[in-house]
Structures are given as structure tokens and as C-alpha cells.
Structure 1
């Protein structure tokens, strides 16, 4: 028999293609591999929901520490761990990668790409990194200085290293890549400094670029890269945006629908922020602040939906997007859901880009609502800052920032790391582009902290955060866990009726997904911004989260004191049922910045709360919130009690006798009752002090 001569290179390609095809199948069926965490959002739909339920609402209180691993740095930690084949892959600040044994935490290998430390000046929001992607034998990640690197999964050796940016421009990369059928998808940041946004695809085998999609048009005197950009150019008018870049960077969120073969990307703010300088002739400035659907095979535009036309507030649409199939008006719809910075929660048809619904999930005063017919926000002229400074909410940190949401098909709720922030926007009529610094075209004086103590106190009181359980069909809040500060971590929901989140004050907490009851809390001593994950090895379920405070708010918030980020290095913390108790933190943020209530309500809200309280609550808890000692005195609620108040009132407390009042109270009425109770707590406290 004659032997076939197969060239070695061909044989290698056949083997590598076979491995790639195998991993492609695993990725497409990631939901069935529920013991792993194969993809950034666990599955391509980015729901961050796990069907694991060994850890559940009945035993979560037994969680203890299984193991921890220190990363060696105390900058912001934002990674989503990838867990596959018993290995955990994480990143740390400065784009350092670690491979760990997911059961024991033992380091297998680490790789430091030696990112250019001087490049940090081009990073608006810390030298963070949100994670890797794994495909076959490759671990792929991006660096703060714009490189894309492939490492051998088992050894950590470099396979290839390619530059994805023009180093004469202030681009950075902090986001995690996604991989679709062997194509690595990666974007970048830099919109505050002056760059042109784009997203690219690279080949998993050799790092060669396959396609690039620009999100905003370039110089109109030159040929446009695609018909979509020629169309977009019609929405820019009067300025020379291309000299500053235009913005629209794709610095974080992506999702993928294999059935439709559509890749969804979220685009960022304009460069500069201010539209009156960027595009003085008006226009929507496509494709800024938009959800854009593109074909992952070739990078061609399919459709878009713009959340903030003509954005002038840094209201990016780069926030987490989730794909789901939900019933709306009796019809099953394939939707994409997003809560971008602008404060509105959107439900969009992901096949066509058709607007379905939107409602504000945090207070907004830049727009009153989103018009149901046009799908466009209705701007409020009085808070427009074209001619005079305007105090606006949300501020540039947004009603929701990069911290991932989660969608539970069990409850039908989306869990949003929401926040309330304010900012004084203005127009700098003397703006001149400076390629070496921030380019916002806003009067920088407007960003100063108030000198007046009362004004500073107002800013402090107006800056809060909470975990929000949101009904995407009814477009309304179901429950919330209130925090004193914004910038808490991403969210994980599970089939065990649990929602996990790390908080900016250093706690790692678990709530009942249906009611919002606080079921478990541990003080880590370090602020948490990263999202948790869960996985299972040898029959045991684990919960994992990276701790270590940082990012935009940590750098620019200006309200934290005395020390928001203890000197201890960031670390991975993995929990299991029956694990060890944590040692008391040496420096605990929870003590330095306690989660306490603020009296922010007006007299009318308190008066309405007084009425509702006495209508529904006094019969068990006493008139005037002065109980008889049989039930808990509501004036003595601790921080956890205040955080779970709405969930307890509207969802009840299982096994305690506290029933749900959602049949007679809505969220607004429950909030009014809460404000009344807080007011009474202070008033009776003052009275007691006077008696002494």
C-alpha cells in the first residue's frame, strides 16, 4: 500500500483546526457545561446566571473561605475569572495573567506582559483589566498599552503578541476579549483623550487581523471605509471631529447570538464630550452611544439603536448587554437589554434593532422619558448646558457603569449595580484640542468639589449606590439593596435563588433573588468592584470574587475618607459551604465608610410615608414607630436591615411571619415608609439625647 505524504504544516493545521472546532462547540453549548465558567458572561448571551444550586438560599449562611490568592498589587481589580478543565485564569492590574488550580488556588503559572507603565497616563480609569478568553489551548488577553497576546494554556508561554492600536494615539485596552468561531474580538478605550473608535477581529492561530469596524466616520474628504460610515457622516455637522478622533470607543460590553450570527457591541461617548463643540451644526453623531449589531464573519454593519442621540454627557452605551427571550404582550421576543450610563433601562429587539420599551431606573433630569413611538429620549431644555452650566443627573459616572448586571430566567429580573451621581456640565467656548490630555470641551472649573460645606454635604448625600432588581417587562423596580456609596461590584445570579455582589464598602453579600432579603455577608476589608462567578469541581460548588478597589470613581470621586483602598494587595477569594471564617480585617472599609442611611427625603415624602405606615404597619410595629418590644423596633434597624427593607416589605421574610405587602403597597409607597421610619429614628434619637 502506498503511504500518503502529509506535510507537517498541514498536519499541524488539521490538528489545531480540530481543537478549535471542538472548543467552538463547547462555547456554543456553554450553558450545558454548567460546572465551568467558559466565557466572559458564562454564556454568549452574557446573562451571568448559573444553574448551579448546591449553594442556595437555605444554606448560603454556611459559606466560608475555601482559599485565597494574592495578586501582588493593590490597584483596581476587575477580572471575571474563566474556569475550564479545572484551571482558573484571571488578570490583575497592569494586565498580568495568572493560571490557578481552581480547587486549591495553587499558582500554575503567571505571565507579566511588561506593559509600558508610562502608558497609564492615557488610561482614564485606572490600569485595570477585566479578564481573558480561553479557546482550545490558547489563553488570550489584551494589555493596557494596546497589545493582544496569546499564551499556551498549560505553560503560559507566549504563542504570539500583536499590537492592535496606533501608538501615536492615546488608545488603551482594559476590556476582556471575546472569541467567536476562532475570531478574537477586541476594542479599546481613549474617548476622553481624543481617538476614533473601532473594534477588530484577529485570528486565534497567528494573531493576524481579519477585519475592523470603525464606529464613527473619519475625514469626510476621504473615502469612507463602509456604506454604514457614509450614512453616519450625514449625522455629524459643522465641526472637524475627525481631527480629535470623534470617539465612540468599544471599551467593554459585547454579546453574541449564534442563531442569528450577530455580534452586539456597545459604543462610547464622543470626543470631545461636548456636542456643541464636537458637532455644532447638530445631528445624532452616529454611532456614538449606541448598540450596534455586526456580522462577526466580516465585520459588516447590520443595524443600530442609539441610546443617547448627539450625546453630550459622556453617556456611553458600553455598559453590559444581556440577550434573552422574554414574553412581551403575549408574544415571545428575542431581546437585548441594557442599562447604560444615561439612566434608562432599554429592551430592544435583537433581530431588527426595533425599540420595544425603556424607563429610567435611576433619577434623571437630562431627559423626561423615552418616546414610545420614536424610541428617542425627550430632552429637558432647562438642564441643557449649551448656554449655561447645568447640574445634571446622572453624572458622567452614570446610573450604571461597567459593572456587569445579571439576568435570572427563574425570577425574570435583571439585577443592576445602580448608582446616583450628579455633575455640573458646561460648554467651554474657548476649547482647543490638546492630544496630551483630556479633551472634554467642558469648563474644568465646573468639576471642582464645592468649597461650601453645605454644598459638599449635598453632593455627598446625592452620591449613593444600590443593587436594583428590575422587571424588564413591566419596566419597574421590584426591590433594592441600598448602599451609602456608588461603585459596587458586578452581579451573579444562580438557580439557588441567590444574587451575589461585592460592595464598595468591602462586603461580599448574598441576597434572595426573589425578595431581596440579605442572607449572608462577610467583610473582606477591601472594596470590591469585580463580578463574582460560580463553578463546580468534584461535586463541590464554589463562589469566587476578586477583591481590590479601584477604577474611575476610586480615582475621581473625591468623597471617600480617610482611606478607601487599604494597602493590602488585591486577591481572589473563593468560598464554599463549610469553609473557614475570615479573619477580622486589619483595615476595614466597612468601618471607615459604614453603610448608613441618609435623610434625603423631602417633607412631602415623609408625610406620605407616615400615612402609609400608619395605614399598614402600626398594628404590628406601633404608632409612630414606637413598638411594644414584641417585634423588632424598626428604629433600631442596622445597615443590613435598611439595605433589605424594600425586599422585606414587598417580598416578605420567609418563616418569620412578615408577609409580603406588595398587594397593597408599590415600590414608591414602600420607599416613603422607609423614609418616614428613618426620620422617626433621628427624631426620637434627638429626643432621647435631650432627656439625658
Structure 2
């Protein structure tokens, strides 16, 4: 782990900083990112937030690059960064300004059309040892509002930067570092509020979502995901367990303007071993519907009650309408770590359907009320080791899906792994892991020849439409476009362009200098369309991946960040 967190040599780092210092902001006027523009982000020429728009679609209505000409993509510009860890941020673009984050909570600003460096922000991590940062020192991107860029950091700061200069406008700290909390997500701006969530479920942190005033940095509300005594859901926990109950909210949520509701996923309960905390353990492994004005919970749906496999419920909650059995629903869809693809009525939290998209043996089905049914034989204990699927890395992990209104498909980057897991006695101590389990990731016996795949799932049915199999794990996010093309990067360093209807590979980039872990995005400047993505292998798979991490093809993936931008 230490080698993956190491910085590039000091001389190279100094040169990299110097290349940004004093760079003239030649990108032109900075268009203000208003509430109206964020509400209409799906139609914007830029890429104004983590997943483009409030629905989390990952879809752009651009067709200049299309199935007929995507094979002509060429490199427009690139940027090399030297950290030997995972690069997960999408390029976020407003006008001709492009912002992308790196590991260790840095922000880089470029001219979006040429790659000219504009400024660089190096966050001061102080004396933080980052010992309670789970699964690599990554960052998943920025949010934009008015004339500012917002960043959530590993040492629990929320920072507002001047969009044209990178100067700090305000900085607020949520928690002390190294005691269980960290932040790796991209913030979400809703109605003048900067909304973030904390990591730390593996360290007994009590999760929450918080909102700050975008202008001043004032903390407006904080909603804990694990209820205290007397609050709704508190009776689903043993006495006192809420204080170390986990429920991290470590991925970016979405926003439903129709109902004025934030939808936010919640992670695993703590410790992992469920025999130590009998009950459903609300609101772990859930999606929460929150009032953006107050953080009040409107409704919830729990994906895995009394989770003992680290299946979480944090995977993105993507908003779309679906039609099933002749009825149209305002829905959210989510490909869960537990191996099931869900469609949920986003007006009331009721399950519409759930279908397996990966081998799933722990969660076996659902009762008439939509509650998950789990197999007692697959539950570990201190004296009981079990083999179950998926592994704790999930049928899909943090890397986001995309959906297309043209094909009515969801495009899901999928991991095919199982695990052995056994209970281990554990006591809580601040700043130390609070797992209560030993585990090892293993091959899925049903998928012996490959660790990963990309698959298309029909939104109205939850059934697979096509699948592209990969010998290596597939840990990159998805991008869908009106050109009938879906983009995502492979672990062996190729950005793929798939035919959105059939899954046929229409184009592969030249091999990158590292494997792709990043999230692709697309934008237009002066009518010209670009596609950008970080290469830079890392994240959870090579650290906790068991047999997968031991696979020589995975172990030998080169490291180091490299931002690629393509155009015709």
C-alpha cells in the first residue's frame, strides 16, 4: 500500500507544479453555473457535474462522434500525472474550462479544447496519516456553482475554489482525519447547497450526508444515516450500536427535481459481522430520499437488511422513467453490490422489480413487500466460513453505469467474483479497522474465463440485452451518447467504443500507459465534440482483490495517471 501512495519524485513534482504556475487563463469568459443551467445540464454543451445531470444518467445528447465515424477518433491532447495510485475523476467542463481531480485531493484546470494548463490546486493534507482511508487515496471529482469549484478531501475538508484562478474562497472541516472519516466523492450542488457524504464504514464511523451554503460555507444540515435512540429506525439496532454503526454515504447522490428530493445511497453497517448487531440495521445498505432544505428523510428502501457481506447500498441511484406491465413509473435504477439490478418507485420507495445481473447467492429473492430474502447458510459467523457470491467487491462497485433514452438500456460495468468469508471477534477502537471478518476474493465458478464484463440491461425489464466479456476486471465507468456509442476503459489500457444497440466494439484507443479506472465524459467547445478519461490503475481491486489481485495480468498493470482527450 505504501508504494501506491508514494508521490512522484520531488524534482518531477516541482516541474509539474511549475507548468501550471503563472499560466494565463486563455480559456475565455467563464460562464456562470446557475441553478437554471444545472437544472438543464442534460442539454448543456459542457459536463457540469459528476454524472452530467441531476438524474445521474451519464448520457450526452451529442452525435458528432457516432457509430459511423468513431473509428476515426484521434488524440486531441493529454496530460501525464505521476501518482502511483487510482485515478477516478471524470473531466468536468464548463465552457472552455475543464476541471479534473487526482488522488490526494488535488484539482487540475485546463483549457478544455487544447489542454493548456490554467491552474493547479494542491490541497494541504497537513499531518493526516490517511490511515483510515479505505481502498486507495482517490478522489472522484468536483462540483461547479456560480463562479466556484467545490472539492471534498481525504482529510474531511470541503473547499470552494475560484473557478478562474484556483484560489481558496472558503474551506470548512467536517471531522478530524485518521479517526475513521474521510471523503473521496464528488460533491453535488442543489439549490445553492453543496451536498457531501462521508466514508468510514470499515472504521466504525457513523455515516452522514451534510449540506453547506455554496456562497459562505456555512453548515446548513447534517443527516446521520444510522438513527440515534428515539429516531425512526433506531429499534433495528442493539443498544448503543448506532455510535459505531457505519452507514457511510461515500458516493455522489442524485436529485429529482419533480419531487424536490435528493436520492443518496448508504453503505454497509459496522462491524461486518452481523451476529454482533442483530436487526435490520437501518439505514445501512439503503437509498435515502432526503428533503434538500432540511435533510429530513422522506422514505427509504433497504437493499440488503442485516448485511454481513459488505454489500453496501451506495452505488449510484439513476433516475429514469420505466414502463412495466402497462404502467409507467418514475423510477430509480441501481446495480447493487449484492448482484441484483433494482428498479424502485422514486416517489415512495416501493420495489418495482429486481433482477440478477451477476451470480448472487447471499440475496436469493424478495418477498411480497419487496424486502430482500437472504440465505442463512451463506451467513458467516466466528465458527463458520462460507463461500458466497458476489464477493464484497460486488457485482458492481463504485464505477458508475450509464443509461440511454435511445436504446432504453442501462450499461453496467460488472465484476465476476465470489469470496470466502468468516467471522472474527473484534472490539471498536477509534482509528482502527472495525470489520469482524476475514475474507478472500475468488473466481466466480460460473465465470471461470473472465473477471469482468460490460453488459446492457433493458430498463423496462431488468433483463440482459448484450454482454461483452473481459478476462480482466472491468473497473471503469460508462458514458452513453446520442451517437449510438458507449465508452468505457479496460484494465489493460484501452478505451473502448461499443455499439450501444449490439455491444460490438467499434473502436479501441491505442494502449494507454496504465489501466483505466476513470469515468469518461464528453463535451463540446465551439461545436466540436471531445471525449476524455483518466488512465491510472489502483482503487480497491489491487489492494483487496484476493485471487484477482494475485493474477499476474492484474498485478503487472502499470501505474501512474494519464489524462487522455480524444476527438475526430
Structure-1-length-normalised TM-score:
0.74
Once residues 340 and 191 of structure 2 are traced to their aligned partners in structure 1, the CA distance between those partners, rounded to angstroms, is 33
Are the counterparts in 1 of residues 417 and 443 from structure 2 also a CA contact under 8 Å? no
Once residues 307 and 460 of structure 1 are traced to their aligned partners in structure 2, the CA distance between those partners, rounded to angstroms, is 24
Relative distance call for 1:568 and 1:192 in structure 2 (3 A) is closer
Q: Could you say which residue in structure 2 is the equivalent of 1:41?
A: 51
Once residues 358 and 151 of structure 2 are traced to their aligned partners in structure 1, the CA distance between those partners, rounded to angstroms, is 34
Once residues 489 and 363 of structure 1 are traced to their aligned partners in structure 2, the CA distance between those partners, rounded to angstroms, is 20
Indicate which of 132, 138, 145 corresponds to 1:135. Answer: 145
Q: Secondary structure at the match of 2:387?
A: strand
Q: Secondary structure at the match of 2:99?
A: strand
Residue pairs, 1:43-58, within 5 angstroms: 43-58=53-68
Q: Could you say which residue in structure 1 is the equivalent of 2:88?
A: 78
Structure 1 position 85, deviation (Å)? 1.7
- Does 2:71 align with 1:61? yes
Q: For each residue in 1:32-55, what CA deviation from the matched residue of structure 2 results, as whole angstroms up to 9, or x when unmatched?
A: 21x211121111001011110010
Q: Could you say which residue in structure 2 is the equivalent of 1:573?
A: 564
Are the counterparts in 2 of residues 66 and 574 from structure 1 also a CA contact under 8 Å? yes
- Does 2:374 align with 1:379? yes
Q: Secondary structure at the match of 1:27?
A: helix
Q: Secondary structure at the match of 1:422?
A: strand
Indicate which of 336, 358, 363 corresponds to 1:362. Answer: 358
- Does 2:156 align with 1:146? yes
Relative distance call for 1:534 and 1:138 in structure 2 (3 A) is same
* Higher deviation after alignment, 146-155 or 378-387: 378-387
Once residues 116 and 426 of structure 1 are traced to their aligned partners in structure 2, the CA distance between those partners, rounded to angstroms, is 37
Are the counterparts in 1 of residues 401 and 413 from structure 2 also a CA contact under 8 Å? yes
Structure 1 position 458, deviation (Å)? 7.1
Are the counterparts in 1 of residues 97 and 111 from structure 2 also a CA contact under 8 Å? yes
Once residues 410 and 33 of structure 2 are traced to their aligned partners in structure 1, the CA distance between those partners, rounded to angstroms, is 32
Q: Could you say which residue in structure 1 is the equivalent of 2:316?
A: 320
Q: Could you say which residue in structure 1 is the equivalent of 2:541?
A: 553
Q: Could you say which residue in structure 2 is the equivalent of 1:478?
A: 465
Residue pairs, 1:191-340, within 5 angstroms: 191-218=201-228, 220=229, 230-237=231-238, 240-243=240-243, 245-277=244-276, 279=277, 282-340=278-336
Relative distance call for 1:168 and 1:130 in structure 2 (3 A) is closer
Once residues 38 and 443 of structure 2 are traced to their aligned partners in structure 1, the CA distance between those partners, rounded to angstroms, is 49
Residue pairs, 1:455-604, within 5 angstroms: 461=448, 464-522=451-509, 523-557=511-545, 558-561=549-552, 564=555, 569-577=560-568
Once residues 233 and 158 of structure 1 are traced to their aligned partners in structure 2, the CA distance between those partners, rounded to angstroms, is 40
Relative distance call for 1:482 and 1:407 in structure 2 (3 A) is same
Indicate which of 21, 27, 34 corresponds to 2:38. Answer: 27
Once residues 385 and 557 of structure 2 are traced to their aligned partners in structure 1, the CA distance between those partners, rounded to angstroms, is 36
Q: Secondary structure at the match of 2:63?
A: coil
Once residues 313 and 376 of structure 2 are traced to their aligned partners in structure 1, the CA distance between those partners, rounded to angstroms, is 22
Q: Secondary structure at the match of 2:89?
A: coil
More helix by share: 1
Indicate which of 406, 410, 417 corresponds to 1:410. Answer: 406
Q: For each residue in 1:550-586, what CA deviation from the matched residue of structure 2 results, as whole angstroms up to 9, or x when unmatched?
A: 1000222232326746666312100011xxxxxxxxx
Q: Could you say which residue in structure 2 is the equivalent of 1:593?
A: none
Structure 1 position 431, deviation (Å)? 2.3
Are the counterparts in 1 of residues 32 and 145 from structure 2 also a CA contact under 8 Å? no
Once residues 225 and 449 of structure 2 are traced to their aligned partners in structure 1, the CA distance between those partners, rounded to angstroms, is 34
Once residues 572 and 505 of structure 1 are traced to their aligned partners in structure 2, the CA distance between those partners, rounded to angstroms, is 15
Residue pairs, 1:87-166, within 5 angstroms: 87-116=97-126, 118-166=128-176
Query: Higher Cα Rg: structure 1 or 2?
Result: 1
Once residues 182 and 205 of structure 2 are traced to their aligned partners in structure 1, the CA distance between those partners, rounded to angstroms, is 10
Q: Secondary structure at the match of 1:231?
A: coil
Q: Secondary structure at the match of 1:252?
A: coil
Q: For each residue in 1:184-208, what CA deviation from the matched residue of structure 2 results, as whole angstroms up to 9, or x when unmatched?
A: 0001101101100001000111111
Relative distance call for 1:21 and 1:329 in structure 2 (3 A) is farther
Q: Could you say which residue in structure 2 is the equivalent of 1:587?
A: none
Once residues 432 and 211 of structure 1 are traced to their aligned partners in structure 2, the CA distance between those partners, rounded to angstroms, is 31
Relative distance call for 1:567 and 1:384 in structure 2 (3 A) is closer
Q: For each residue in 1:626-679, what CA deviation from the matched residue of structure 2 results, as whole angstroms up to 9, or x when unmatched?
A: xxxxxxxxxxxxxxxxxxxxxxxxxxxxxxxxxxxxxxxxxxxxxxxxxxxxxx
Relative distance call for 1:26 and 1:329 in structure 2 (3 A) is same
Q: Secondary structure at the match of 1:120?
A: coil
Once residues 569 and 389 of structure 1 are traced to their aligned partners in structure 2, the CA distance between those partners, rounded to angstroms, is 37
Structure-2-length-normalised TM-score:
0.90
Structure 1 position 377, deviation (Å)? 2.0
* Higher deviation after alignment, 527-536 or 564-573: 564-573
RMSD (Å), alpha carbons: 2.1
Q: Secondary structure at the match of 2:435?
A: coil
Q: For each residue in 1:138-165, what CA deviation from the matched residue of structure 2 results, as whole angstroms up to 9, or x when unmatched?
A: 0010111110000001111110111012
Once residues 459 and 411 of structure 2 are traced to their aligned partners in structure 1, the CA distance between those partners, rounded to angstroms, is 10
More strand by share: 2
Once residues 569 and 379 of structure 1 are traced to their aligned partners in structure 2, the CA distance between those partners, rounded to angstroms, is 41
Give the gaps of 5 or more residues in structure 1: 1-18, 225-229, 450-454, 578-692
Structure 1 position 29, deviation (Å)? 1.2
Once residues 57 and 418 of structure 2 are traced to their aligned partners in structure 1, the CA distance between those partners, rounded to angstroms, is 29
Relative distance call for 1:459 and 1:436 in structure 2 (3 A) is farther
Once residues 300 and 257 of structure 1 are traced to their aligned partners in structure 2, the CA distance between those partners, rounded to angstroms, is 15
Higher relative contact order (CA 8 A, sep 6+): 2
Structure 1 position 30, deviation (Å)? 1.2
Indicate which of 433, 436, 441 corresponds to 1:438. Answer: 433
Structure 1 position 368, deviation (Å)? 2.0
Relative distance call for 1:475 and 1:78 in structure 2 (3 A) is same
Q: Secondary structure at the match of 1:119?
A: coil
Are the counterparts in 2 of residues 544 and 572 from structure 1 also a CA contact under 8 Å? yes
User: Which structure 1 residue ranges, 4+ long, deviate > 6 Å from structure 2?
Assistant: 19-22, 455-460
Are the counterparts in 2 of residues 269 and 288 from structure 1 also a CA contact under 8 Å? yes
Are the counterparts in 1 of residues 492 and 515 from structure 2 also a CA contact under 8 Å? yes
Q: Secondary structure at the match of 2:423?
A: coil
